[in-house]
């Protein structure tokens, strides 16, 4: 679907396609409901003009029984409309949510750098709720209202065309009034959605950081931040409710005035013997039938504003393109040996999608070679660009200048999936999913057997600790692994890599949360895993990188020194300073 070059309404209508059966059922039932609503005033007129005056009592009661049956059917039709119509709306909402979630997952890291989790959650949940209501009630209310209004107009013209013209002269007033307030309500509704997203972000941040808040006794500060966001949301609602109140007040004035006008003008015609009392009663009943769909249209306008506000925010994300995409002729990287070449690479965070990002150069003209099966250690002070470089290799970000190749292929010419399948990454901050230890280790290879998972845990020096837990591998670890220690979380991350068994390994401070004894044991496992594989190790503890084939010292966003441990020590430069500093400490 081309979201950028397709109109909003056309995109919205496309979601009916997969549920056309339910949509047609909803519309047919709505059509029958409108027919029943139009029939009753006509039957009332016939009863007062013919059946009762002419003593056709049998026919009268038969017609009344038919009307009772018709209203029973009407009630059943409304059950179908309500139940199956809402289900259709929910199905459409689920389809949109699936497309939105899929699209968000395909967006690049920079998108997530500048969007808070709570705000994205609001886009995927709250914003789509009103869309489901609009998808169900919108077409149904429009159909019932349109048929009822048109049918009532035709019948009213037959009763007294002059009165009918007076009634329908009010419709343009409704239309103009609605158009004037529509934009105000739409803009106000979008602001409400945005503030609601901010509240969700504030709640998500507050709950995620609750332990930090308690550790610093800053609960009151967090509450103040939430209250400020909450007040902003309330203020945004004021504008929306003001526009809605003006709209409803106008409608509630105009609609009853219709009845007054009918009685007043109809009374005038009765006085001049141009309209009968029965005609006026019939006309009044049809005016009531006319007012009901008008009220439905009024409710539809409000629903349309809320639903389309959410849909506009849905389209805003869907029309956001990933900054990193596969080339049109991208090929799958197969039989990876792991030969990596970093050629004159520079990287700068630039403006993206209207968001200003820092312009500082993170990497400047970096060139490194990591032959297949060798180990490259990257060391240096914090902020020098080490982690950024490790993020460029799997193409989480795009290089600003230069190129990176794997087995001689520029990574921009291969599919992202095949590239990342060939790389195993253990980061400094290992993310844990809310679930069991088994599920979190298996993330490295979803179809792994229990034996493979246990073997991976053993290599990560974690199996014995798992077996001491109450539920062992089925132990629940809490949100983001809160029930585990930092070392246990990192070892689960390491176990994932053992399970994935990729030809290229990137270890970004992978042992930083481990004690010295466990780190030595893990290092032995890493040495075994690294055999025949390409390894890139980013480390602050230089004791873990001495055996690397090559060591690169990155500082001030560039490679300052490059060589083996002995070669770098002989230079008496930055590397030696780092070694001496850790030895003294």
In angstroms, what CA-CA distances link 171 with 40, 168, 178?
Answer: 23, 5, 11
User: Is the pLDDT confidence value at 327 over 70?
Assistant: yes
Query: What is the model's pLDDT at position 289?
Result: 64
When mean pLDDT is compared over 24-28, 40-44, 194-198, 517-521, the highest value belongs to 24-28
Report the pLDDT averaged over residues 175-189. Answer: 68
Highest mean pLDDT among 197-201, 489-493, 561-565: 561-565
Residue 535 φ then ψ, to 5°: -125, 135
At 422 the three-state DSSP class reads coil
Q: What is the pLDDT of residue 499?
A: 85
Kindly tell me if the per-residue pLDDT of 3 is higher than 80: no
Encode pLDDT of 270-294 as tens digits: 787 776 777 677 667 666 666 667 7
What is the rounded end-to-end Cα distance, in angstroms, of the chain? Answer: 59
Q: Output the six-digit token pair for 407.
A: 């087995």
Q: Which of 572, 574, 582, 573 is nearest to 544 (CA)?
A: 582
Mean pLDDT, residues 87-109 taken together:
82
447-485 burial code (b ≥16 CB/10 A, e <16): ebeeebbbbbbebbbbbeebeebeeebebebeeebeebe
d(CA 567, CA 243): 74
φ, ψ (nearest 5 deg) of residue 371: -60, 150
Does position 217 have pLDDT exceeding 70, yes or no? no
pTM score > 0.85 for this model? Answer: no
Q: Single out the residue of 365, 333, 332 nearest to residue 347, CA to CA.
A: 365
Closest among 93, 87, 94, 97 to 21, alpha carbons compared:
87
**Would you say 43 and 63 are in contact if contact means Cβ atoms under 8 Å apart?**
yes
| Virtual torsion, Cα 513, 519, 525, 528, nearest 10 deg | 110
> Distance between CA 519 and CA 441 in Å, rounded?
19
Q: Which two tokens stand for residue 41?
A: 């005033």
**DSSP reduced 3-state for 352:** strand
In angstroms, the CA 217 to CA 193 distance is: 32
What is the phi/psi pair of residue 216, to 5°?
Answer: -100, 5
Among all chains, which residue has been given the structure tokens 């099966």? 373
Under a CB-based contact definition with an 8 Å cutoff, are residues 527 and 354 in contact? no
Section 23-38 average pLDDT: 85
Domains of the chain: 8-318 (1.20.1560.10), 327-422+506-514+541-585 (3.40.50.300)
- In the numeric block, which tokens belong to residue 405? 């190749």
The strands making up 340-348's β-sheet, listed across from edge to edge, are 361-370, 340-348, 401-406, 409-410
> Can you say whether residue 184 is alpha, beta or left, with left for phi > 0 and alpha for psi between -120 and 50 degrees?
alpha
Cα–Cα distance between 297 and 293 in angstroms, integer? Answer: 6
DSSP run (H or E) holding 540: none
Whether 497 and 441 have beta carbons less than 8 Å apart is answered as no
Which range in 186-190, 198-202, 211-215, 570-574 is most confidently predicted, on average pLDDT? 570-574
Tens of pLDDT, residues 454-482: 888 888 778 888 888 888 888 887 777 77
**Cα 178 to Cα 166, 265, 297, 299, distances in angstroms:** 20, 27, 10, 11
Model confidence pLDDT, tens digit, residues 385-435 = 788 888 888 888 888 888 899 888 888 888 888 888 888 888 777 777 778
| Alpha-carbon gap, residue 276 to 45, rounded angstroms | 11
- Joined tokens for residue 97: 């949510």
Average pLDDT, the chain: 78
Which run of H or of E encompasses 487?
helix 486-500
Phi, psi of 36 (to 5 degrees): -65, -40
Across the strands, what pairs with 57?
none
Instruction: List b or e across 48-71, with b for residues whose CB sees 16 or more CB atoms inside 10 angstroms.
Output: beebeeeeeeeebeeeeeebeebe
Among 171, 564, 474, 416, smallest CA distance to 553 is for: 564
> Mean of the pLDDT values across residues 27-37?
84
Examine the pLDDT at 202 and tell me if it is beyond 80.
no
**Radius of gyration of the CA atoms of the chain, in A:** 35
- DSSP H helices, 15-56, are 20-46
pLDDT above 50: residue 97 = yes
Angle between helices 126-168 and 20-46 (to 10 degrees): 30
Pick from 529, 511, 494: nearest CA to 375: 529
Q: Tokens standing for 440?
A: 């979190």
CB burial of 278-296 (b: ≥16 within 10 Å; e: otherwise) equals ebbebbbbbbbbbbbbbeb
For 156-165, which contacts have Cβ atoms below 8 Å and span 24 or more sequence positions? 156/283, 156/286, 156/287, 156/290, 159/45, 159/279, 159/282, 159/283, 159/286, 160/266, 160/269, 160/275, 160/279, 160/283, 162/265, 162/269, 163/262, 163/265, 163/266, 163/269, 163/275, 163/283
Q: 430: closest CA among 478, 394, 480?
A: 480
Where does 387-472 show beta strands of DSSP type E?
Answer: 401-406, 409-410, 423-426
pLDDT 10s digits, 503-525: 888 888 766 656 667 667 667 66
Distance CA 200, CA 230 (A): 10
């Amino acid at each position: 679907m081309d979201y950028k070059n397709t109109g909003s309404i056309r995109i919205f209508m496309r979601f009916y396609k997969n549920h056309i059966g339910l949509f047609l059922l909803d519309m047919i039932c709505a059509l029958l409901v409108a027919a029943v609503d139009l029939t009753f005033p006509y039957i009332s007129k016939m009863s007062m003009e013919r059946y009762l005056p002419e003593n056709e009592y049998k026919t009268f009661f038969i017609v009344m029984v038919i009307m009772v049956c018709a209203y029973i059917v009407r009630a059943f039709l409304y059950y179908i409309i309500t139940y199956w119509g809402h289900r259709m709306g929910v199905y459409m909402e689920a389809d949109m949510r699936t497309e939105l979630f899929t699209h968000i997952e395909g967006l690049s890291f920079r998108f997530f750098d500048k969007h808070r989790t709570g705000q994205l959650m609001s886009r995927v949940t709250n914003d789509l709720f009103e869309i489901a209501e609009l998808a169900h009630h919108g077409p149904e209310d429009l159909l019932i209202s349109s048929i009822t209004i048109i049918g009532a107009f035709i019948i009213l013209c037959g009763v007294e065309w002059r009165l009918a013209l007076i009634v329908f002269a009010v419709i343009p007033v409704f239309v103009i009034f609605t158009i004037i307030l529509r934009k105000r309500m739409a803009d106000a509704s979008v602001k409400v959605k945005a503030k609601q997203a901010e509240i969700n972000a504030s709640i998500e941040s507050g709950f995620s950081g609750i332990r930090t808040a308690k550790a610093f006794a800053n609960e009151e500060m967090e509450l103040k931040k939430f209250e400020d966001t909450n007040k902003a949301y309330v203020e945004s609602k004021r504008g929306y409710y003001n526009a809605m109140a003006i709209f409803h007040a106008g409608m509630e004035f105009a609609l009853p005035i219709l009845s007054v006008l009918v009685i007043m003008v109809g009374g005038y015609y009765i006085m001049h013997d141009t309209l009968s009392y029965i005609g006026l009663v019939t006309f009044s009943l049809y005016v009531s039938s006319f007012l009901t769909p008008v009220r439905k249209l009024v409710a539809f306008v409000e629903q349309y504003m809320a639903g389309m506000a959410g849909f506009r925010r849905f389209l805003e994300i869907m029309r956001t393109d990933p900054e990193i995409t596969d080339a049109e002729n991208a090929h799958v990287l197969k039989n990876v040996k792991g030969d990596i070449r970093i050629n004159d690479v520079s990287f700068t965070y630039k403006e993206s999608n209207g968001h200003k990002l820092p312009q500082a150069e993170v990497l400047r003209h970096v060139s490194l070679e990591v032959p297949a099966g060798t180990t490259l250690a990257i060391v240096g002070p914090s902020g020098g660009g080490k982690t950024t470089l490790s993020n460029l290799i799997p193409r989480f970000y795009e290089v600003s200048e230069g190129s990176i190749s794997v087995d001689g292929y520029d990574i921009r010419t291969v599919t992202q999936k095949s590239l990342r399948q060939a790389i195993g990454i253990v980061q400094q901050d290992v993310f844990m999913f809310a679930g069991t230890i088994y599920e979190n280790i298996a993330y490295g290879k979803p179809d792994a057997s229990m034996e493979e998972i246990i073997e991976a845990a053993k290599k990560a020096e974690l199996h014995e600790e798992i077996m001491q837990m109450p539920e062992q591998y089925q132990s629940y670890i809490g949100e983001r692994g809160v029930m585990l220690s930092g070392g246990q979380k990192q070892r689960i991350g390491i176990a994932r890599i053992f399970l994935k068994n990729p030809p290229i390994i990137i270890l970004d401070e992978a042992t930083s949360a481990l004690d010295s004894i466990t780190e030595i044991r893990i290092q032995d496992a890493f040495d075994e895993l690294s055999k025949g594989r390409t390894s890139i190790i980013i480390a602050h503890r230089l004791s873990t990188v001495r055996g690397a084939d090559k060591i690169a010292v990155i500082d001030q966003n560039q490679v300052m020194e490059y060589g083996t441990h002995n070669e770098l020590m002989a230079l008496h430069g930055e590397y030696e300073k780092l070694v001496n500093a850790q030895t003294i400490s």
